Amino acid sequence: MKTRKEEPAMLKRVRPVFIGTAAGMLCCLAVLLLFALLMAARDIPQSAVTPMAVAAAAMGAFIGGFISARIAGSRGLFYGAACGALMYLLILVAGISLLQSISGWYAVAKLLVIMVSAAIGGVYGVNRRRRR
């Protein structure tokens, strides 16, 4: 009789982070697309672009941390923060490759917003009751 092999410990820890990050990035992209439609339909000042981008990243990070912690089932703060860190790195690499420069304070502020949002999402994801 075949028994199901246990997942390696590393895969067990990394899989929720990767899945949460992918979900968070997709959510971030969807929110950015909604903001782009809003900007095309309304006369929104150029100064609102940066706060809208940070808000989209925060929403995506929250969802990513939430999903990551739900998959893991425990340690929501850790899994949420890990998901947020990976999301930040992906956003930073994309920003550097497209813009060729990133402002120092803006990068730090975005790091803090993403990490806090993802960690809160992770804590909420672990503590939310499952449906029966």
Compute the mean pLDDT over every residue in the chain, rounded to the nearest whole number: 87
Mean pLDDT, range 46-59, rounded to an integer: 90
| DSSP letter string, 105-131 | HHHHHHHHHHHHHHHHHHHHHHHSPPP
Tell me what pLDDT residue 47 has: 86
Query: Which pLDDT tens digit goes with each residue over 9-46?
Result: 777 778 899 999 999 999 999 999 999 999 889 888 88
Q: Domains of the chain: which residue ranges? A: 14-39+46-127
Tell me what pLDDT residue 49 has: 86
- Whether the CB-CB separation of 114 and 81 falls below 8 Å is answered with no
Tell me what pLDDT residue 12 has: 74
- Would you place residue 58 in the very low, low, confident or very high pLDDT band (cuts 50, 70, 90)? very high
Distance CA 80, CA 116 (A): 9
